[in-house]
Structure 1
Amino acid sequence: MDAFSNVDSNNRGKRIIDGYTPEPYHMPWIGLLVKDGKARCTAFLVSKNANAKASVWVLSAKHCFNDVLFDEYEDKTINSTSYGLLFGVHDLRFSTQHVIYRTIDELFIYPDEGLKTKDIILIKLDRQIKFNSYINGLCLPDSTEEHTPYEDTPW
């Protein structure tokens, strides 16, 4: 399957003031959540530790699934033909050999009413993604590390 066959890349525009386009593959953990072929949200491939070679785990924002009524999905599964994730992407206008597409196996939702707080969701992919020079997992800091400035990475 061509991962880009249905992704709408024409909905581009300035959304970040003084933003910049990063160097290609500078952030190899960044992915794109798509629904019905349309770019939906940023996703982050995470790994257990710095020595991990692959992962099935992705973090994103819970509001990216706001059209799915989770009460109806007690088993936390969703229509895998509607949702997917792309990794190894730098520019949505171009497909490359580095792009990997995965569907969602399971969602883990933080128990919280509404979307104003705890807007986080853990996604388990249908199969693992092996790390390479273009795709790698984000290692999250442990609770003892000091907070440092961050970069926002929207599509």
Structure 2
Amino acid sequence: MSADLRPAVSSGLLFCAAFLAAFIASTNGESRLECGKRAVHVRTSQSRIVGGRDAVEGAWPWQVSLQVTNRRAHVCGATIISQWWLLSAAHCFPSTSGFNNKDQWKAVMGLRDLSRPAKWTISRKIDALILHEKYHEVQNDVAVLKVDKAINFGDYIQVACLPKPGKFHIEKWSHCHVTGWGLMEQNGAPARILQEAGVRLIPLETCQQPNWYGGLVNDHMICAGFAGGGIDACQGDSGGPLSCQLKGTDRFFVVGVVSWGKGCAERFKPGVYTSTNTYGEWIEKKTGISISQSEDSGVEYMSDYGIAATESSAENPSVPSNIQFGTNQPTSMVQRHLPGRTIPLLNLLILLYHFCTDCF
């Protein structure tokens, strides 16, 4: 009888060990993440931020609202790139106004209507704020933020893919959209509902023409919009994602970060975005995120080691007067913090005891 019992006990223990490992991994959110997918079906459009069209609930689940805590106000956008890290623009955090202090900020996710957080909306404090050490005016306009608690993913809160570090190839991407709560027209009112704009990627050589942006644009940047204007990001959208689908797949990658432009939606003055391809290695170094697979496979997984850097943010120098960045006048917002549910360790052990009793 003992000979028959031993394999049963061994199998039971192995099963329970596997169950426990899987359960703990899912509870801690350490399983591999399937990035860049939307739980809701959304028809692509050529809608506008300037001029306005409301995004469908859940259409852009990696979109983040960065808010100044003492004003309860949206100021900039950001993108979820892992359970612990957000991607944004360096110019959103000027030292002159004290915005380079991480304690001034919070990140709100799973949000569509600034005045009406949903039941799945969550808020996180900022544990680390890192600006690119060579940020200056429109150059190296990139930043990463570490949240104080892991982000709970669901249908309305997801992680975006990051393209593999290297040169940006415009021909790989389609269905590009910029999203945010910025101004709906130049010098106009900010949006209350998350806006989306379908934009076209513009070759760098076109954007560098003298009657466009000339030498202000380099290969660390991406131009997106339309030659005739009319569709563009605007103030308040800065730091948010330029999300594009990798051709032949259903996955979205954040290929750009809203950075700057002359006015909003002007002729020959499209939006200019920080290219995430160019800064992939910098993002990996600062965050510990591993952008592990080739984007050509259509699948991008990111391992997150939760590394918290302690670097101070950079100074924000003066910028040319004709360049528009993304901070906007504060708008009021009612906040609600809905953290994810957790199972205490004692309850977990009791659950496993009862479950594994039948294993033997």
Deviation at 1:69, TM superposition (A): 8.0
Aligned with 1:41 (options 65, 76, 92) = 76
State the secondary structure of the residue aligned to 2:151: strand
Q: State whether residues 129 and 145 of structure 2, in contact with CA within 8 Å, keep that contact through their aligned partners in structure 1.
A: yes
Match of 1:99 in 2: 121
Q: State whether residues 102 and 129 of structure 2, in contact with CA within 8 Å, keep that contact through their aligned partners in structure 1.
A: no
Alpha-carbon deviations, 1:109-133, whole Å to 9, x = none? 2112423111110111111102111
Aligned with 2:89 (options 58, 61, 73) = 61
State the secondary structure of the residue aligned to 1:63: helix
Aligned with 2:49 (options 8, 12, 16) = 16
The letter for the 1-side match of 2:86 is V
State the secondary structure of the residue aligned to 1:20: coil
Q: State whether residues 49 and 179 of structure 2, in contact with CA within 8 Å, keep that contact through their aligned partners in structure 1.
A: no
The letter for the 2-side match of 1:152 is V
Residues 6-155 of structure 1 correspond to what in structure 2 (within 5 A)?
Answer: 16-35=49-68, 36=70, 37-47=72-82, 55-67=83-95, 78-80=101-103, 82-143=104-165, 146-147=169-170, 148-149=173-174, 150-155=176-181
TM-score by length of 1: 0.72
The letter for the 1-side match of 2:85 is W
Q: Which residues of structure 2 form unaligned runs of 5+?
A: 1-47, 182-360
The structure with more radius of gyration: 2
Q: State whether residues 65 and 109 of structure 2, in contact with CA within 8 Å, keep that contact through their aligned partners in structure 1.
A: yes
Alpha-carbon deviations, 1:72-107, whole Å to 9, x = none? x8xxxx352x21000000111212211100011011
Change beyond 3 A, Cα 1:120–1:79: closer
Q: What is the aligned-residue identity percentage?
A: 28
Alpha-carbon deviations, 1:16-72, whole Å to 9, x = none? 33442111111100010001211110110013xxxxxxx1100011111113689xx
CA RMSD in angstroms, aligned pairs only: 2.3
State the secondary structure of the residue aligned to 1:34: strand
The letter for the 1-side match of 2:180 is P
State the secondary structure of the residue aligned to 2:77: strand
Q: State whether residues 30 and 87 of structure 1, in contact with CA within 8 Å, keep that contact through their aligned partners in structure 2.
A: yes
Q: State whether residues 62 and 115 of structure 1, in contact with CA within 8 Å, keep that contact through their aligned partners in structure 2.
A: no
Pick 1 or 2: higher relative contact order, CA cutoff 8 A, min separation 6: 1
State the secondary structure of the residue aligned to 1:152: strand
**Aligned pairs, how many?**
127
Q: State whether residues 135 and 141 of structure 2, in contact with CA within 8 Å, keep that contact through their aligned partners in structure 1.
A: no
Structure whose residues are more often helix by fraction? 2
Q: Which residues of structure 1 form unaligned runs of 5+?
A: 1-14, 48-54
